[in-house]
Chain A
Amino acid sequence: MTTMQELTKGFFKDNPVFVMALGLCPTLAVTTSVENAVGMGMASTFVLLCANIIISLIKGFIPAKIRIPCYIVVIASFVTIVDMVMHAYLPELHKNLGIFIPLIVVNCMILGRAEAFASKNNLIKSIADGIGMGIGFTIALVIIGSIREILGAGEFLGFSIAPASYQPVLVAILAPGAFIVMGVLMGIMNLIKKE
């Protein structure tokens, strides 16, 4: 595969959320609004990119037996950086995302890419993979976030777009809505792939 293909495969064909079902917890938990979705997507992309770079650079030094703890330490360091930077500069977003920022550590998408890709490929390809998968993750989050925000609040990015007579479907913002929107989107994805 060329570097360009590595970059674009995460957008749709191998989308980490819809196709590979990785990183479901943050996907469902923070997508109550588009703003949170973008914030979470950006934070995860940063951690994924940095972790991919470091792991593909040090892959030669890590003994195979303890590679998972090594990967986790690398990922946890970058998550701590994101946590502190967000706390300092974006306190509102930091509060909204709450516990899910430290939990980026156990996002199986990041550990999965480290194990399945960065530990086997060179630096350039790992960077392309990190950016591509991160953008794919962000796209998925924004799609789910848009649907839930529009249905559940009649708003998009905080701007009211629905007519005044619109009764918000409150359940879309609550927990059940996340599962149902996700299920329907995965079904549609399967349908498109088959054709």
Chain B
Amino acid sequence: MELFGRIVALAIAAIFVHNFVLARFLGLCPYIGVSKKVDSALGMGMAVIFVMTMASTITWIIQNYLLIPLELQFLQTIAFILTIASLVQLVEMVIQKTAPALYKALGVFLPLITTNCAVLGVAILNIQSQYTFLESILHGLFAGIGFTLVLVLMGGIRERLETAEVPVSMKGMPIAMIVAGCMAMAFLGFAGLQF
């Protein structure tokens, strides 16, 4: 029961309180870039959930069974980014062979994920927060879900914005930023939910 409680606390913290996009400022490029439509936002979100969970798992193993025993912690950044880059490549190839339909849906988003700082961010945060193996995997999963949630919400808002009357020089990116600010303000309300 205690384990279940910890998992719920971790989920609420990762999805709402410390939302990766709105509270930690990670993964802003895809957040602004791929949120013009709900469909593509959902596709990107799914790909990110998948890669973040995988990346959390593998970087935790690398840190604890490779870098720490060999005392190579200073190589952390290089090791993690290479792992993520090859992981994304691997995932892309596996999905392409085994699930062509899924590949069609996610395909264009996968290469973009390598430079999504949310993925490297979650890997480093797992190590910094000294999470256990299980917690790391779950943190990756929930952080991905939080990312997808705000990405899809943003997609919905921006579909409406298309037809809204916005001053010419505020069209596109600037108004998206202001909307993100309003969303961040709403998410600040979750800050009281500390465990």
- Which residues on A are within 8 Å of B, measured CB to CB? 21, 24-26, 28-29, 68-69, 72-73, 76-77, 79-80, 83-84, 99, 102-103, 105-108, 111, 171, 174-180, 182-184, 186-188, 190-191, 194
| B96 interface residue per 8 A CB criterion | no
Q: Please give the distance in Å from B24's CB to the nearest CB on chain A.
A: 7
User: Which residues of A have CB within 8 Å of B54?
Assistant: none
Which B residues are CB-close (under 8 A) to A174?
Answer: 184, 188
Chain B, Cβ-Cβ closest to A106: B117
Contact of B77 (CB < 8 Å), options: A25, A80, A176, A177: A80
CA distance A77 to B167 in the complex (A): 44
Q: Is the CB of A76 within 8 A of B178?
A: no
Alpha-carbon distance A178/B183, docked complex (angstroms): 12
Q: A99-B125, A103-B117, A105-B77 are in contact. Are A69 and B180 (CB under 8 A)?
A: no
Is there contact, CB below 8 Å, between B85 and A72? yes
Q: Determine which of A24, A108, A179 lies in contact with B115 in the assembled complex, contact meaning CB atoms within 8 Å.
A: A108
Let me know if B28 and A24 touch, CB within 8 A. yes
Q: Which residue of A lies closest to B116 (CB)?
A: A106
Q: Report chain B residues within 8 Å CB of A21.
A: 32, 173
Distance in angstroms between the alpha carbons of A118 and B74 in the assembled complex: 27
Instruction: Give Cα A191 to B128, complex, Å.
Output: 43
Residues of A within 8 A of B176 (CB): 183
Residues in B with CB closer than 8 Å to A79 are 77
Q: Indicate whether A111 sits within 8 Å of B178 (C-beta atoms), given known contacts A105-B81, A176-B184.
A: no
Closest chain-A Cβ to B177's Cβ sits at a distance in Å of 3
Contact of A184 with B81 in the complex, beta carbons under 8 Å? no
Smallest CB gap from A76: residue in B: B78
What residues on B are CB-neighbors of A69 within 8 Å?
82, 85-86
B27 interface neighbour in A25, A83, A177, Cβ under 8 Å: A25
